């Protein structure tokens, strides 16, 4: 059945075509960045530098996956740094370490993941049941998580001696640290959830229009709480990777992670209004942010300028990802 000229001329197909073109823009930007940086400094494409890029990308990728699911619903999650910090500190105190006699190994890892899930669940319940805006609910748990981490360590740092945890950053497979492979495994799990589960379909439905989703029989409250819980697990994995990378846990380990996470998701093309985007686009966004930072280091750009460039990048990405014709009021 072919579309009529009137249907083809309608704004909906035009918006869909614009989105399909826009979704490829981050990939083209990434390729262009790689070409330009390689032209300026050929060391960019060496295997050693690619390993460094992958190490820099593994934590933002895992955090970005969790944030992507939240943003696809049209919500925002600011608890990234709180969950990551709490998870890293708890891990450093539960596995073999230099501060106490604990040596729970893999059990400690599961406790950290359960803690991340619990914080995410609390975020969802506060947001849905108490009807608190998502950014306010998660802002509170951000500070609570960091506060608990500070209380647990008393401002000190705990060195991790567990060989399995340290192995995520030190030991390699095919030249890449195990932490990179763990991040890619998380990406594969997220792709399955996004594309092949009912939860993934419902997340997109809520982002496209929560009222319509509710009229279709979707339990929007359950989907939101489940998604926040899922995001908390991914943030906890980010905490495990951060602790493994640094070899310790402290209350400052999550500083700056939120900005990088949201930047990567938005730069990848996921719309802040919800309903459009994917975890694969977040992967592209993470690579853009990491490659740009790596390239600026290779080119000798001062750190203060690097921060300014990242700020301009996120403003441009938001401006390009939002369809302002559909927005009568900008709040």
Q: Which candidate, 113, 59, 106, places its Cα nearest to that of 86?
A: 113
Helix (DSSP H) and strand (DSSP E) numbers for the chain:
14, 4
Strands (E), 204-269: 248-249
pLDDT tens track for 269-309 = 888 878 888 999 999 999 998 988 888 888 777 777 777 77
Q: In three state form, how does the secondary structure of 150-197 look? A: HHHHCCCCEEECCHHHHHHHHCEECCEEHHHHHHHHHHHHHHHHHHHC
Of 105-114, 147-156, 192-201, 318-327, least confident by mean pLDDT is 318-327
Of 119-123, 129-133, 179-183, 318-322, least confident by mean pLDDT is 318-322
Domains and CATH numbers, the chain: 44-311 (1.10.3470)
Give the pLDDT confidence score for residue 98 in this predicted structure.
83
Give the pLDDT confidence score for residue 6 in this predicted structure.
42
Mean pLDDT of 241-255: 90
Name the strand (E) or helix (H) holding 71. Answer: helix 47-72
DSSP 43: G
pLDDT tens track for 25-68 = 788 888 888 898 888 888 888 899 999 999 999 999 999 999 99
- The answer, yes or no, to whether residue 221 has pLDDT greater than 80, is yes
Give the pLDDT confidence score for residue 309 in this predicted structure.
74
Give the pLDDT confidence score for residue 267 in this predicted structure.
86
Q: DSSP for 124-147?
A: HHHHHHS---HHHHHHHHHHHHHH
- Sign of the Cα torsion 170, 63, 84, 197 reads negative
């Amino acid at each position: 059945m072919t579309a009529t000229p009137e249907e083809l001329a309608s704004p909906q197909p035009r918006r869909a075509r614009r989105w399909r073109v826009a979704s490829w823009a981050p990939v083209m930007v990434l390729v262009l960045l790689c070409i330009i940086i390689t032209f300026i400094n050929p060391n960019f494409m060496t295997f050693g530098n690619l390993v460094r890029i992958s190490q820099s990308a593994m934590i933002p990728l895992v955090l970005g996956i969790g944030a992507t699911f939240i943003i696809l619903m049209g919500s925002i999650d600011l608890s990234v740094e709180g969950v990551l910090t709490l998870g890293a500190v708890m891990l450093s105190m539960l596995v073999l370490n230099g501060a106490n006699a604990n040596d729970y190994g893999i059990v400690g890892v599961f406790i950290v993941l359960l803690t991340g899930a619990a914080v995410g669940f609390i975020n969802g319940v506060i947001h849905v049941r108490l009807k608190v805006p998502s950014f306010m609910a998660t802002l509170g748990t951000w500070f609570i998580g960091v506060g608990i981490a500070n209380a647990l360590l008393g401002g000190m740092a705990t060195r991790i001696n567990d060989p399995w945890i340290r192995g995520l950053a030190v030991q390699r497979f095919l030249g890449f640290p195990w932490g990179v492979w763990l991040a890619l495994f998380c990406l594969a799990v997220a792709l399955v959830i996004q594309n092949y589960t009912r939860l993934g379909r419902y997340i997109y439905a809520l982002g496209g229009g929560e009222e319509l989703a509710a009229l279709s029989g979707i339990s929007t409250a359950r989907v939101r709480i489940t998604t926040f819980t899922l995001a908390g697990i991914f943030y906890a994995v980010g905490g495990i990777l951060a602790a493994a990378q640094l070899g310790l846990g402290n209350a400052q380990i999550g500083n700056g992670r939120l900005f990088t996470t949201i930047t990567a998701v938005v730069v990848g093309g996921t719309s802040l209004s919800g309903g459009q985007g994917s975890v694969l686009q977040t992967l592209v966004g993470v690579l853009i942010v990491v490659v740009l930072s790596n390239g600026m280091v290779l080119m000798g750009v001062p750190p203060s300028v690097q921060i300014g460039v990242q700020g301009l990048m996120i403003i441009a990405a938001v401006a390009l990802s939002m369809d302002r014709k559909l927005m009568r009021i900008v709040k």
